[in-house]
């Protein structure tokens, strides 16, 4: 597997996985396809989940925007092996989520895919009600975030669990503590109040670049919880900094270093 694809005319095969619950996946898919379309060498195939692993591992880049998509163990292992062999994976927002909705105590985040969470470097646990919060650089020494000024975004603030926090290269973070109302694991008043927003997870010859930003929701995305959701939510998609981060992330995915 090689990501040395910068020669003119060198085709780069990409898989975009976009699917899941409670988000405007149609909107996110289109926005990501627009950004992918800025790279003329990219040839992009789209699928709603991770089970067609043959297409994923045949390429060099995976981009994912999913929520509560739980891959089979076979798919988890094949994608992990692909990363180890040199694949680059840009994972966005709810890729690390497994949700049980409607439990007596709220939304639960069962730990049902430890291999997946280890490959990604995190598992979603909860988020507070959507509200503005400040995103800041964790480092000044990485080109993916160099020059990105602190910005406020109106997004889902992901509270995640990291099996090995020390194995991650922190790029962006936010500071928060309080109550994640509506979730089973709602008390976030103890422990660290620093939460990763973007990080690199190196694995073998490849890597995962995870960005928790990117919430979006339209009128019909909360079915069957509600038939019509009154507010259109676009979160960080309206932030110029987010667009810049995604563009840099795609350059990283194709093997760029600046």
pLDDT digits (tens, 9 = 90+) for 6-50: 456 699 999 999 999 999 999 999 999 999 999 999 999 999 999
Residue 175 lies in a domain: yes
Residue 7 lies in a domain: no
pLDDT digits (tens, 9 = 90+) for 162-209: 989 999 999 999 999 999 999 999 999 999 999 999 999 999 999 999
The separation between CA 100 and the C-alpha centre of its own chain, rounded to angstroms, equals 19
The strand pair at 168-175 and 194-203 is best described as antiparallel
Residue 48 lies in a domain: yes
Question: pLDDT category, 130, cuts 50, 70, 90?
Answer: very high
Total domains in the chain come to 1
* DSSP per-residue codes, 113-174: -HHHHHHHT-EEEE-PSSEEEEEEES-SS-TTTTT---EEEEE---EEE-TTGGGEEEEEEE
User: What is the pLDDT of the chain when averaged over all its residues?
Assistant: 96
* DSSP per-residue codes, 53-81: HHHHHHSSEEEEEEES----HHHHHHHHH
Nearest to 242 by CA among 131, 49, 92, 74: 92
**Cα–Cα dist 75/233, whole Å:** 31
Nearest to 116 by CA among 83, 140, 147, 157: 83
Domain range for residue 157?
Answer: 12-253
Rounded to 5 degrees, what are φ and ψ at 15? -115, 130
Q: What is the pLDDT of residue 8?
A: 63
Vertex 146, ends 198 and 235: CA angle to 5°? 45
CATH number at residue 24: 3.40.50.880
Residue 4 lies in a domain: no
The separation between CA 83 and the C-alpha centre of its own chain, rounded to angstroms, equals 16
Residue 27 lies in a domain: yes
Which contiguous run of DSSP H or E holds residue 242? helix 240-253
Enter the DSSP assignment of 94.
Answer: G
Residue 2 lies in a domain: no
Q: How far is CA 29 from CA 38, 120, 203, 219, in A?
A: 15, 20, 26, 17
Q: Of the given ranges (8-17, 135-144, 246-255), which has the lowest mean pLDDT?
A: 8-17
With 0.85 as the threshold, say if the pTM is over it. Answer: yes
Instruction: Please compute the mean of the pLDDT values over residues 67-78 and round it to a whole number.
Output: 98
């Amino acid at each position: 597997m090689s990501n040395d694809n910068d020669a003119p005319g060198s085709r780069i095969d990409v898989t975009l996985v976009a699917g899941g619950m409670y988000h405007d996946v149609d909107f996110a898919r289109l926005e990501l396809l627009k950004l992918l379309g800025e790279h003329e060498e990219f040839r992009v195939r789209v699928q709603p989940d991770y089970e067609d692993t043959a297409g994923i591992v045949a390429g060099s880049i995976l981009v994912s925007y999913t929520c509560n998509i739980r891959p089979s163990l076979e798919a988890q292992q094949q994608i992990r092996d692909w990363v180890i062999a040199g694949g680059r994976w840009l994972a966005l927002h709810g890729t690390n989520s497994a949700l049980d909705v409607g439990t007596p105590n709220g939304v639960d985040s069962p730990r049902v895919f430890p291999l997946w969470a280890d490959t990604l470097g995190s598992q979603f646990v909860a988020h507070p009600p959507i509200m503005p919060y400040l995103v800041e650089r964790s480092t000044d020494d990485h080109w993916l975030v160099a020059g990105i000024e602190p910005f406020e975004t109106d997004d889902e603030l992901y509270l995640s669990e990291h099996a090995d926090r020390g194995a991650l290269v922190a790029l962006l973070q936010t500071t928060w503590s309080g109550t994640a109302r509506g979730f089973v694991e709602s008390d976030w008043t103890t422990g660290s109040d620093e939460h990763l927003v973007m990080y690199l997870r190196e694995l073998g010859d490849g890597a995962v670049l995870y960005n928790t930003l990117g919430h979006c929701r339209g009128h019909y995305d909360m079915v069957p919880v509600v038939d019509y959701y009154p507010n259109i939510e676009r979160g960080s998609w309206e932030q110029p900094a987010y667009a810049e981060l995604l563009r840099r992330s795609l350059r990283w995915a194709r093997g760029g270093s600046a």
